[in-house]
Chain A
Amino acid sequence: EIVMTQSPATLSVSPGERATLSCRASQSVSNNLAWYQQKPGQAPRLLIYGASTRATGIPARFSGSGSGTEFTLTISSLQSEDFAVYYCQQYDNWPPWTFGQGTKVEVK
């Protein structure tokens, strides 16, 4: 099973600033990586797949990069609606598909 490790656990950022979230895989997952956003009481929402392709309707301020074992989600200028928990997921090696433990982006 591939273990996904996200850092930091919590990221404190002011509105308008850039946020950089990291995700590391225990072995290479090529570019088979997705990012999700989850707000309290809601289901996760797909942001990025293929490590860098934005899902339908996702604003351009969200960008993903990386391949192999190291990945980054960048939010270029945080809006109020972006404060949430973010998860990465690998879909290269199954079963099972695995998620990171999440990074909470909170208001500084």
Chain B
Amino acid sequence: QVQLQESGPGLLKPSETLSLTCTVSGGSIRRYYWSWIRQPAGKGLEWIGRIYATGSTNYNPSLKSRMTMSVDTSENQFSLNLNSVTAADTAVYYCAREGGYYDTTGYLGWFDSWGQGTLVTVSS
């Protein structure tokens, strides 16, 4: 059974860069898409972006200008960088595996495995 674990700093100052890593165990990172999803306290879920083992990415247009994702298949890890953070980026950040299928528009997926989440707070 695949397990995901987020890691990274929990406290950032405004304008700094958020850097998180998700380590995948119990399965290979090569055969799936992998996503980041965030949730501000007491609020709903926001999909941030996803990456495939080849490095192919899809980003949420609302965050695209500030973010990059990368993958390290040798370490079974993928990462998120989000720059110029503000208080609005304060949230629990989850990494997740995307199960799904290919159709004519690309890979369509749901999130079948999740990390436990890590709280990132942006405060001066």
Closest to A1 in B: B61
**How many angstroms between the C-alpha atoms of A34 and B45 in the bound complex?**
13
Main SS of chain A's interface residues? loop
Q: Does B40 contact A (CB under 8 A)?
A: no
Q: Does B28 contact A (CB under 8 A)?
A: no
Contacting pair A95 B59 (CB below 8 A): yes
**How many angstroms between the C-alpha atoms of A18 and B116 in the bound complex?**
30
Contacting pair A43 B94 (CB below 8 A): yes
Interface size counted on chain B using CB atoms at 8 A: 25
**How many angstroms between the C-alpha atoms of A92 and B103 in the bound complex?**
10
Contact partner of A91 (CB less than 8 A), chosen from B44, B60, B110, B116, is B110
Within residues 85 to 124 of chain B, which ones have a CB less than 8 A from any CB in chain A?
94, 99-100, 105-106, 108-112, 114-117
Contacting pair B110 A46 (CB below 8 A): yes
Closest to A46 in B: B112
Main SS of chain B's interface residues? strand
Contacting pair B106 A94 (CB below 8 A): yes
Q: What is the CB-to-nearest-CB distance from B6 to chain A, in angstroms, rounded to a whole number?
A: 10
Which of under 10, 10 to 19, 20 to 34, or 35 or more describes the interface residues of A? 20 to 34
Contact partner of B47 (CB less than 8 A), chosen from A49, A96, A100, A102, is A96
Contact partner of A95 (CB less than 8 A), chosen from B61, B100, B110, B114, is B61
Contact partner of B110 (CB less than 8 A), chosen from A42, A49, A101, is A49
**How many angstroms between the C-alpha atoms of A91 and B47 in the bound complex?**
11
Q: What is the CB-to-nearest-CB distance from A72 to chain B, in angstroms, rounded to a whole number?
A: 17
Instruction: Give the interface of B toward A (CB within 8 A).
Output: 35, 44-47, 49, 58-62, 94, 99-100, 105-106, 108-112, 114-117
